[in-house]
Amino acid sequence: MKQFIGFLKKEFLHIFRDPRTMMIIFLLPIVQLLLFGKVINTDIQNSRIAILDQSHDNTTREITSKLVSSGYFVLGDELMPGDDVEDVFRKGKVKMVVTFGPEFEKSLERDGKADVQLLADASDPNTARILTNYASGIINDYVKKEKLQNLQLPNQINTEVRMLYNEGLKSVYMFVPGIMAMILMLISAMMTSISISKEKELGTMEVLLASPLKPIQIVLGKVTPYLLLSFINALTIILIGVFIFGVPIKGSFVFLMAESFLFIMMALSLGILISTIAPNQMVAMFISVLALMLPTILLSGFMFPIENMPLPLRILSHAMPPRWFIVIIKNIMLKGTGILFVWKETLILMFMTFVFIALSIKNFKIRLE
Amino acid sequence: METVIEVRNLVKKFGSFVANDHLNFDVYQGEIFGFLGANGAGKTTAMKILCGLSSPTSGEAKVAGFDIYKETEKVKRNIGYMSQKFSLYEDLTVAENIRFFSGVYGISPADRKEKQDKLLKDLGLESAKDSLIGSLPLGWKQKLAFSVAIFHDPKIVFLDEPTGGVDPITRRKFWDLIYEASDRGITVFVTTHYMDEAEYCNRVSIMNAGRIEALDTPENLKKQYSAKNMDEVFLKIARNTE
């Protein structure tokens, strides 16, 4: 045990003495989270819209004020019939034009049917889609609540949209789990694999193996500091998510941390596995970035929805541990579910951990023989 | 003389390649045993087996009186090892390196302090106690690495090409350290391919293609092969076996 504590002290000295390691461990998670949360913000706020109102009745005015008071839109130009709509877009400030047909209120009351046209600037397709979704949602909502209460008329504007669990479509709800998966992968897997292969590269690994330390003590000694640091990182990310970005934790906090712990263990064993393959730090880093970081970002469903991927990539995404972890934390944080709903994903992560450890032991034995 | 290393019919194969072909030799307490051979002759493989870094395919070996198969732990407690890369942590200070390796070998803090003070005084490195290893000149690193490898007073110290890439003066100084260790009763097992260093050993074995071709004192080997120096001995052996 004394030997082991001495080993840990040495590991922490390595970590605290290397400014790059310190930056990756303590600064990177915060910077990443703030960047994704604040800068790369796909949320819609204060988008400028123009209104072309051919009716000028109460209903159209009310809808307009609903749109503006939603916070998503600000009113730009009031257009007149015959204005060049394209010219409005070309000036670039207006993102969407809302056109009410003539006699809007009357035809709504008479036929239960009225025309609204939402014209969006689809040169930015994502924003366009979100804007039209929001606007049609607001209009529908208004028509339903205010106008059709007593009328048993079919709703003719068929764009019912409701966002469950993330009604504001806040992208940070998606980024917090994604960043957490990414950072934990980076620190647990990449940093351990680099720190173990560094000992190989410097020749100190041979000295350690020739010493009375058992191989398992060496590996645990190398891994434990990163386990602690990753756990602190997981906590930091969750705290920033909750207190700065207002992401809820609807489920059990203890359960959330337990699942994070499992994911860290998985990533650590992956890091050990990489270090049994990589002869030096460069290779370890290369494998980590290519085999871990990019797939985490691209294939885990963190940035791009898995459903939209071509079949081979969709199949490949099953082998990505973060994919399962992201499902788990989203479930716990946003939906408040317990183990009953994520036991499958949890088992998959456990299985992966087991496989990585088994492969590491096998590789290690081959090297010794 | 007490035998500290006993090797019988040691074989190590990597697939069909035979790295060590039935090695047989003894090493005696306190001697400097030179383990010579060209690159790839199999000397590092044999050394790694004796240090417990690798396991043999067949054969028997005892190091410090312990069986290398069954008593690996005890073997490791009684040996020191220094690889060709000096193997100290560059980002730790001299004192921190000593503290770490003392901890690994279970030396108590009080003993450590006493020995550390003596060691730094002997080496004239007292002022460097709190300097990072990375900031020290190569010759100092090498001396320190050797001193750390024998800090726990092992019975045997294994040196794997300890003087690779070092200038002749530093090499000579390093051998002074080896003599001192040998005087203290520590057996030194050293691999090298510098033939001038072979002259400094009490006995040398010369390996070629996985087999030990000759084993004796440098004087006897020179007589036997009627050679002026060890360089010639080595070349003659290499030619004979081709």
Q: Please give the span between the terminal C-alpha atoms of chain B, in angstroms, as a whole number.
A: 36
pLDDT at A162: 44
The answer to whether position B23 is within a domain reads no
- Regarding whether A35 and A114 lie in a shared domain, the answer is no
The answer to whether position A296 is within a domain reads yes
- Regarding whether A340 and A195 lie in a shared domain, the answer is yes
Q: B104: nearest CA in chain A?
A: A3
Chain centroid to CA A87: how far?
Answer: 37
pLDDT at A158: 44
- Regarding whether A63 and A82 lie in a shared domain, the answer is yes
The answer to whether position B16 is within a domain reads no
Query: Side by side, which strands form the sheet with B58-63?
Result: B17-28, B3-14, B58-63, B66-67
Nearest CA of chain A to the CA of B91: how many Å?
7
pLDDT at B73: 87
Give ∠ CA A264-A265-A269 in degrees, rounded to 5: 115
The answer to whether position A161 is within a domain reads no
- Regarding whether A289 and A179 lie in a shared domain, the answer is yes
Read off the CATH number of the domain in which B233 is found.
Answer: 3.40.50.300
Measure the CA–CA gap between A79 and A123, rounded to whole angstroms.
Answer: 21
pLDDT at A355: 94
In tens, the pLDDT along A244-258 reads 888 888 889 999 999
Q: What is the pTM of this model?
A: 0.77
Q: Do A211 and B158 make contact, defined as CB atoms within 8 angstroms?
A: no
Cα–Cα distances in angstroms (integers) from residue A80 to residues A97, A164, A233, in the given order: 12, 38, 56
Which of A195, A273, A272, A285 has the alpha carbon at shortest distance from A205?
A195
The answer to whether position A332 is within a domain reads yes
Q: Which two tokens stand for residue A92?
A: 């670039």
Which of B76, B87, B91 minimises the CB distance to A203? B87
Buried b (16+ CB within 10 A) or exposed e, A82-111: eeeeeebbeeeebbbbbbbbeebbeebbee
pLDDT at B27: 94
- Regarding whether A116 and A215 lie in a shared domain, the answer is no
Q: Is the pLDDT of residue A4 over 90?
A: no
Q: What is the mean pLDDT of residues A108-112?
A: 75
Q: Which domain covers residue A107, as residue numbers? A: 47-147
- Regarding whether A281 and A237 lie in a shared domain, the answer is yes
Q: Do A9 and B100 make contact, defined as CB atoms within 8 angstroms?
A: yes
Between A353 and B40, where is the model more confident? A353
Whether ipTM tops 0.90, in short, is no
Q: Which domain covers residue B91, as residue numbers? A: 31-51+78-240
- Regarding whether A283 and A178 lie in a shared domain, the answer is yes
The answer to whether position B141 is within a domain reads yes
- Regarding whether A14 and A73 lie in a shared domain, the answer is no
pLDDT at A334: 83
Q: Is the pLDDT of residue A154 over 60?
A: no
DSSP letter for B24, please. E
The answer to whether position B25 is within a domain reads no
Determine which of A38-47, A262-271, B178-187 has the lowest per-residue pLDDT on average. A38-47
Q: How many CB atoms lie within 10 A of CB B42?
A: 23
Cα–Cα distances in angstroms (integers) from residue A317 to residues A176, A189, A299, A345, B223, in the given order: 20, 18, 5, 13, 71
**Sequential pLDDT tens for chain B (242 residues):** 789 999 999 999 988 898 899 999 999 999 999 998 887 788 888 998 999 888 899 999 999 999 998 888 899 999 999 987 767 999 999 999 999 999 999 899 999 999 999 999 988 888 888 999 989 888 888 889 999 999 999 999 999 888 877 788 888 888 999 999 999 999 999 998 888 888 899 999 998 888 898 899 999 999 998 888 888 888 888 787 66
The answer to whether position B225 is within a domain reads yes
pLDDT at A300: 80
pLDDT at A150: 52
- Regarding whether A70 and A211 lie in a shared domain, the answer is no
- Regarding whether A178 and A77 lie in a shared domain, the answer is no
**In chain A, which among 191-220 make CB contacts under 8 A with chain B?**
202-204, 206-213
The answer to whether position B216 is within a domain reads yes
Read off the CATH number of the domain in which A110 is found.
Answer: 3.40.1710.10
Q: Do A212 and B106 make contact, defined as CB atoms within 8 angstroms?
A: yes
Cα–Cα distances in angstroms (integers) from residue B184 to residues A32, A321, B102, B110, B150, in the given order: 58, 56, 19, 22, 11
pLDDT at B137: 87
The answer to whether position B117 is within a domain reads yes
Per the structure, the count of domains in chain B is 1
Which of A203, A206, A212 minimises the CB distance to B104? A212
The answer to whether position B69 is within a domain reads no
Q: Do B53 and A14 make contact, defined as CB atoms within 8 angstroms?
A: no
Query: Hey, is the C-beta of A19 within 8 angstroms of any chain B C-beta?
Result: no
- Regarding whether A71 and A27 lie in a shared domain, the answer is no
Q: Do B81 and A6 make contact, defined as CB atoms within 8 angstroms?
A: no
Mean pLDDT, all residues of chain A: 82
Q: Which two tokens stand for residue A32?
A: 């990443």
- Regarding whether A359 and A266 lie in a shared domain, the answer is yes
Q: Please give the span between the terminal C-alpha atoms of chain A, in angstroms, as a whole number.
A: 28
Per the structure, the count of domains in chain A is 2
